[in-house]
Structure 1
Amino acid sequence: MKTELSVVMPCLNEAETLAVCIEKAHHFFERENIAGEVIIADNGSTDGSQQIAKNLNATVINVPQKGYGSALRGGIEAANGLYVIMGDADDSYDFSNLMPYVLKLREGFDLVMGNRFKGGIEKGAMPFLHKYLGNPVLSFIGRLFFKSKIGDFHCGLRGFSKEAYHRMELKTTGMEFASEMIVKASLKNMKIAEVPTVLSKDGRSRPPHLNTWRDGWRHLRFLVLYSPKWLFLLPGILMMILGIFASAALIAGPVTIGNVNFDVHTLLFTSGMLLIGFQFVLFYGLTKVFTVENDLLPKSNKYDRFFKLITLEKGLVAGILLVIFGVILSITAYTDWQQLSFGNINSTEILRIVIPAVTLMLLGIQVILFSLFFSILGLKK
């Protein structure tokens, strides 16, 4: 019979619990009459885990590259099943109760996620920080950044079709592999479902491989870096808006709030905020092109319109115009200084011209350089 389901378990010294996990999976196949296989993706075990797996008729795949993601990728790529269900080999998940996943996969869902918060978390199964801070916060960020409805981004028990796995084009090697799978599936508009899943206390006597702060940071870093809109665009637009309005008010004259007087010295900072915000927006554009052209993020219709809207020629014209306006203002300031016989400038009025002039010229140069680099990154297109 053609293999319908492959159960893939990453393994690094799981001799204490590996056998019971494999046996539960085999019993599930027999009970539900499913043509299945168990694949152990071994990441360098030294406690005899490999032999335990072989004795129980599981397929052992040796994955030399270290990391949770590396082990899973090695096991999934070796899987023969139409569908794959991955889960930890520490007996925290019940491999004898996989039918809710199989049914959703048979319905045509590309990715089926477990949700431990809906299924139940046994006492002592999840550390306090993970349960009330790490998982909820990172899952919220994932939903916000990628418009995903997944309630538990880090559930280790999940299923997907082999075809969907190839479409995801997963790259990461560590614990952030779990987040990457949901992010890629969401960005590629795949069909995703959730099923309640019970998390039990694992059966190991040693501490888990998961490092709370290191792996939490890797998840957060991945989510932020894979969302240039939240990393660069939105903060940049906010700083630009604040910088523009504050600068416009200070160019018109001093602004007094309560007993505090804001004048040209503050104008320097607001102009700087405008420039920094503009840099953020430019970095968003460059990051977007780089990630799409290197297949790190999927291409969208907006991306094609992006290229039609922003061209080298338009950028050069806009940049040159900004520089010209800056030069005109500089000449005006020079004329005012000339009227003072090039002496000390005690009036703040000239600075109200000089600061915008310098800001416009810097913006113009940034636009010109961005247009050139943007075009270089898009040469493939």
Structure 2
Amino acid sequence: MMLQNNSGTIQPMSELTVTILMPCLNEAETLAFCVRQAVAALRDNNVSGEVLVADNGSTDGSQQIAVAEGARVVPVAIRGYGAALIAGIEDARGKYVLMADADASYDFGHLPRFLAKLEEGNDLVMGNRFSGEIKPGAMPPLHRYLGNPVLSFIGRLFFGVPVRDFHCGIRAMRRDAIRSLNLKTTGMEFASEMVVRSSLSGLRIAEVPTTLSPDGRSRPPHLRTWRDGWRHLRFLLLFSPRWLFFYPGVITFFVGLLISLWLIAGPRTVGHWTFDVDTLTYALGLVLIGAHISVFAVSAKVFGTKEGFLRPNPQFERVFQYINLEVGLLFGCALLLVGLATLGYAISIWHAADFGNLSAQRMLRLTLPSATCLMLGIEAIFGSFFLSLLGMNRR
């Protein structure tokens, strides 16, 4: 199949440079403007390409408007921002894809700056509104000063992504590279998934300044601040077991352990405050909680690596050369023995008192650690079996 480019040269469709992709759901007010601007960007920069509208079931005639203005339309039955873009990327005919909303908030005339970065070898090029321009009224203060900066910071912290505007709606990509990620999310969190999965897969990511203008529609935007903000944050947490499970688990475990060791010999007084077995009870509870969360962390890492949505970590894999099922079972059995030995010692003290009344504070300093060791031993044994099952085909 052949297509005529903007310079009048007939080219095979496979040689298209770029597809300008717009997700669409009832965008009749602004769609014609956006398509014209995109067509002009291709023509003025002598770039062979197409304009593709991924329509999510519009009922306001958006499909007819897109075709009349020179765009191609692909219908997408599954509702959602991510679903529309996934289908559009799959159907695109260009080597590169530039995506942006069809609400007149982004300037398709910025196409050359994105293409230049892609030609340098980058796989994903993000727009950055903060290093470019945010026109008055274009972004609510809550998004500008809290939502975007916080979520972008979390993305950089969790994944080391060199992006300062994590949720910019205009971005360009190598189509084959993005398709290889097998992106799944159908909602607004698709924006986060694309960046996170690109980073985890080792794709090259860059940014260019861009401009955000006020939404050209008279109706409210599809974006819902708190709902979609939570969906983005939830996605970032789920894809980072270290921050969701490992760091909280390790910190909780060692805080509880240190407090427990401090109190195990007897009550402690700090100023007017005296800490005794009540505090010891909660401290040992922190030890148990921390251990449990840490098991979740390792399980999530093994599962995520095995399923392909987390990058393999050679250091993590090396740990399993030394800490395997047998080591976990031995460690669990050792904890059980410590717990049983402590329990036996406590019973012997009770026996020496002819099974009568004993000091509650004294006995709790034996029975609480004993119970904790027993529970940790069981956790270690069955956790080892579960991790071994998860990682059965790891190698």
The separation in 2 between residues aligned to 1:328 and 1:305, in whole angstroms, is 34
TM-score normalised per structure 2: 0.94
Q: Which residue of 2 aligns with 1:320?
A: 333
State the AA in 1 paired with 2:267: P
Q: Counterparts in 2 of 1:187-266, with a 5 A limit?
A: 187-266=200-279
Q: Secondary structure at the match of 1:97?
A: helix
Match of 2:3 in 1: none
Q: Which segments of 5 or more consecutive residues in structure 2 lack a partner in the other structure? A: 1-10
Aligned mates of 2:123, 2:165 — CA distance in 1: 17
Report the CA distance between 1:347 and its aligned residue: 4.9
Q: 1:216 to 1:347 in 2, by over 3 A?
A: closer
2:96 equivalent to 1:91: no
1:305 CA displacement: 1.9
Distance 2:35 2:194 in 1: 24
Deviation string 1:23-52 (CA, Å, 9 cap, x unpaired) is 111111111111101110000100000011
Write the mapping of 1:1-150 to structure 2, written as runs, cut at 5 A: 1=11, 2-150=15-163
Q: Which piece of structure 1 moves more, 279-288 or 164-173?
A: 164-173
Residue identity in the other structure for 2:52: I
* Root-mean-square deviation (Å): 1.1
Structure 1: how far apart are the matches of 2:225 and 2:107?
Answer: 24
Shift of 1:170: 1.2
Q: TM-score normalized by structure 1?
A: 0.98
Q: How far apart, CA to CA, are the structure 2 residues paired with 1:288 and 1:272? A: 25
The residue number in structure 1 matching 2:188 is: 175
Other structure's SS at 2:376 match = helix
Give 1:97 shift: 2.2
- For structure 1, which segment, 285-294 or 207-216, has the greater mean C-alpha deviation from structure 2 after superposition? 285-294
Helix, strand or coil for the counterpart of 2:393? coil
Give the fraction of aligned pairs with identical amino acids, expressed as a percent.
52
* Partner Cα separation in structure 2 for residue 130 and residue 71 of structure 1: 23
Distance 2:117 2:222 in 1: 30
Alpha-carbon shift at residue 127 of structure 1 (Å): 1.0
Moved more, 342-351 or 274-283: 342-351
The CA deviation at 1:166 is 2.1
CA positional deviation for 1:205: 0.9
Find runs of 4+ consecutive structure 1 residues off by over 6 angstroms: none
Write out per-residue CA displacement over residues 113-150 of structure 1, whole angstroms, 9 at most, x where no aligned residue.
00001111000111111111111111111111111221
Structure 1 position 366 matched with structure 2 position 357: no
Alignment-mate amino acid for residue 318 of structure 1: F
How far residue 189 of structure 1 moved from its aligned partner, in angstroms, is: 2.2
Equivalent AA in structure 2 for residue 136 of structure 1:
P
Residue 122 to residue 319, structure 1, CA distance change in 2 (3 Å): same
Q: Deviations over 1:214-236 (max 9, x none)?
A: 10110111111111111111011
Partner of 1:337: 350
**Which amino acid in the other structure matches residue 159 of structure 1?**
A
Q: Give a deviation string over 1:300-332, Cα, whole Å, max 9, x none.
A: 323422432331111111101110111111111
Give the distance between the partners of 1:364 and 1:34, measured in 2 at CA.
65
Report SS of the residue matched to 1:349: helix
SS state at 1:198 partner: strand
Which whole-Å CA distance do the structure 2 matches of 1:18 and 1:347 have between them?
76
Amino acid at match of 2:282: F
SS in 2 for 1:168: coil
